[in-house]
Structure 1
Amino acid sequence: MTATPEAGGKRGKLYLEDLSVGDRFQSGEHALDVAQILAFARQFDPQPFHTDEEAARRTFFGGLAASGWHTAALTMKLLVESGIPLADGIIGSGGELQWPQPTRPGDVLHVAGEVIDIVPSRSKPGRAMVTMRCQTLNQRGEVLQNFTPKLVVHARPAAA
């Protein structure tokens, strides 16, 4: 499933001049299972609530939960593969990240994004800082992650 902007009917790779505040994007989906959670956690966040189903039941989470960093990585994958189709790629310059509730085995993730600000660069013509609001949701529409990235977006190159 590929995503296209909901606003304006724009298709294909997007440059700065193709974006407007209020444009919305929705990614495809990713189904998360126990094996993926365990593999990611063992390599990158080896805490018991991410690596051991039995131990996880006795923790704050009350059961196995994906690492927030796993959710963030899957969000990035969804944005790149089927979210906002930026011509020069998704180039981050910072942002805010929150996890209001844990991602669990069996969750089917997708990302809903909206352009909330566009600030042209004063020192580098042909680019701008685009701020987005991205929510990673599960199959029930529950927000698992709020991500507000600031992206460097380039204008369309001049024709040669």
Structure 2
Amino acid sequence: MSKPQPKYAYEDMEPGMTFPFGPRTISKEEIIEFASQFDPQPFHLDEEAGKASVLGGLAASGWQTASLIMRMVCDAYLIDSTSQGGPSVEFTRWRRPVLAGDTLNGITTIKDKRISRSRPSIGFVTFHHELFNQRGETVCEMQHPCMMLLREYATAMGNAAGRGSL
């Protein structure tokens, strides 16, 4: 049985378009679990160390924040697209700490797009993600190109294009 075609292909992405994502509340337990495995700095592992730091409380690793953006983006639209991954990250900026109990929402803005010169079945779409806490403060910004199949190639590839499963 074939999968339905993805909702979003390269042709559907236009500069200025936006996609909201979230909400997602992050718990103390999630912060400590992630930090224990990937970023075991004291202010990510211990509430008192977090309070004593410039972060002001138990704070998520910036890498956890970036991972949360990726998950929310996947849930909001990317899984239902012809995404073929990304070749790089142009920038990631951590503006404010993400603290235990914060509820996060975000928005993706399409900044640019172009067809690959070497692979005409693929286009590059530049995504700019902004993540906000429950007070509307920007906590993180990321920007990166995403490789997306053109619809005709995605259709020809059938099940191999887009609509991944989580």
TM-score range, shorter chain: 0.7 to 0.9
Equivalent residue of 2:68, what SS? helix
Q: How far is 1:53 from its partner? A: 0.6
Equivalent residue of 2:63, what SS? helix
Q: How far is 1:144 from its partner? A: 0.7
One-letter identity of the residue aligned with 2:44: H
The answer as to 2:136 corresponding to 1:141 is yes
Q: TM-score, normalising length from structure 1?
A: 0.86
The answer as to 2:71 corresponding to 1:77 is yes
Q: How far is 1:153 from its partner? A: 1.0
One-letter identity of the residue aligned with 2:131: T
Q: How big is each residue's C-alpha offset from its partner over 1:18-58, in whole Å with a ceiling of 9 and x where there is no partner?
A: 11111110013111111111111111100000001112222
Quick one: which of 73, 88, 105 aligns to 2:82? Answer: 88
Structure 1 ranges of 4+ moved more than 3 A: 83-86
- The structure with more helix, counted as a fraction of residues: 2
2:160 paired residue number: none
Higher relative contact order (CA 8 A, sep 6+): 2
Alignment of 1:11-160 (within 5 A): 13-84=7-78, 86-89=80-83, 91-95=85-89, 96-157=91-152
Following the alignment from structure 2 to structure 1, what is the Cα–Cα distance between the partners of residues 133 and 55? 17
One-letter identity of the residue aligned with 2:28: V
1:6 paired residue number: none
Q: TM-score, normalising length from structure 2?
A: 0.83
Please say if residues 80 and 89 of structure 1, whose CA atoms lie closer than 8 Å, have aligned partners that are also in contact. no
Q: How far is 1:98 from its partner? A: 0.6
| Structure 2 CA distance for partners of 1:149 and 1:86, relative to 1, 3 Å | farther
> How many pairs align?
149
Following the alignment from structure 1 to structure 2, what is the Cα–Cα distance between the partners of residues 137 and 83? 18
Aligned-residue sequence identity (percent) comes to 36
Flag structure 2 segments of 5+ consecutive residues without an equivalent. 1-5, 157-166
Q: How far is 1:102 from its partner? A: 0.5
Q: Cα RMSD between the aligned structures?
A: 1.7
Flag structure 1 segments of 5+ consecutive residues without an equivalent. 1-11
| Structure 2 CA distance for partners of 1:137 and 1:98, relative to 1, 3 Å | same
Q: How far is 1:84 from its partner? A: 4.2
